[in-house]
Amino acid sequence: MDSLTQIVLGAAVGEAVLGKKIGNKALLYGAVAGTIPDLDVAASYFTDTVTALEIHRGFTHSILFSVLFAPIFAFLVSIYESYKNIKNWSWLFFWAFITHPILDAQTTWGTQLFWPLDVRLAFKNIFVIDPLYTIPFLVFLILTMRQKRGTQKRCFYNNLGLIISNSYLIITLILKSIAFTNFKKELKIQNITYQELATKPSPLNTMLWTANVKTKDAFLIGNASFFDTKPTYFSKYYKNHHLLGELANHQKIKRMIAITKGWYTINKIENQLYFNDLRFGTLSLAPNAENFVFKYKIKIDAKGTPFFIEQKKAKRDGKKLIFELYKRIKGN
């Protein structure tokens, strides 16, 4: 999830664990701890694209990290804080650390919660930024901060924020199940034979859902709102995996394919190969849009080793997408 959401979650967890003993400091340390797992993004400055993608939401988003580093941070904080109970500090950091990847596991990218096992949990029931999750949670956190330490109201507001946010996550799982069933029916009606179907919410909401459909030679992407009255249109993207040629046997290409779980296409423009990660769709709801959220140029260095360069996204595409979402959520 986005940084603000993780800060809010971490602060609420910190308050629940240690708020009665140290007041707003629990919120502060919980908020800081809630952002620490995302420091793995720094890997992109020191390594290549593929390795950085493998590291992202890996070790720092694992149970192992939470167990190992919670007491370390607790010890460091207890050195200069007047409150010296290392056990309680450890619980604060542990729960702030572990709830971060559990929440991230609800998104499309997912997390390697059980690192070093190569298992990435990705339930895909909430977008990485969801105002309906974050804003109510933030409001109750602010109300919590305004109350005196140890009061019943303070505990009530913080618990209410946690309950409402978690209840929303449960609702998104129900909505995902309904969307998945609807897409299956639609594919059957349109006589589309497929190998695999994956669903995820479109950006910023859970009313408009996206289906990624794997067929023998192509991928289909369709969007459907709960307010739709017409059939779902599925854009078609040919896999074109053959365009990789001998590059397909290179270890770095194989690693990139493994990251996408096989949900990728290749296209060639003016003798230049591009690798498109289909899991995150396109930056447009227009039929057959080609501006993929994650698109990489495949280059070859002097030693013949392929490397990936992520293509920058234009700000105008983001603004256009928000407008398209507003219209599309209301139905087709």
Tokens matching residue 262: 């096989």
Residues 142 and 7 sit within 8 Å (Cβ to Cβ):
no
Measured in residues, the chain has a length of 332
Angle subtended at Cα 331 by Cα 172 and Cα 132, rounded to the nearest 5 degrees: 30
**Residue that the structure tokens 């009255």 belong to:** 229
The H or E element that residue 169 is part of is: helix 152-189
Residue in 166, 128, 156 with CA at minimum distance from that of residue 9: 166
pLDDT of amino acid 317: 87
pLDDT of amino acid 273: 97
Every domain of the chain and the residues it spans: 3-172, 190-332
pLDDT of amino acid 72: 98
pLDDT of amino acid 316: 87
Q: How many CA atoms lie within 13 A of 233 on its CB side?
A: 9
pLDDT of amino acid 313: 87
Q: Is the dihedral of CA 205, 284, 233, 106 positive or negative?
A: negative
**For the chain (length 332 residues), average pLDDT per consecutive 10?**
97 97 96 97 90 94 98 97 96 98 97 94 97 97 94 96 97 98 98 97 97 97 97 97 95 96 95 96 93 95 92 88 95 94
Tokens matching residue 43: 């890997």
Per-position b or e across 74-112, b if 16+ CB within 10 A of its CB: beebbeeeeeeeeebbbbbbbbbbbbbbebbbbbbbbbb
Residues 110 and 122 sit within 8 Å (Cβ to Cβ):
yes
pLDDT of amino acid 44: 83
pLDDT of amino acid 45: 86
Percentages helix, strand, coil for the chain (3-state, rounded to 5) are: 55, 20, 30
State the pTM of this model. 0.94
pLDDT of amino acid 25: 96
Region of 23 please: left (phi>0), alpha (psi -120 to 50) or beta.
Answer: left
pLDDT of amino acid 165: 97
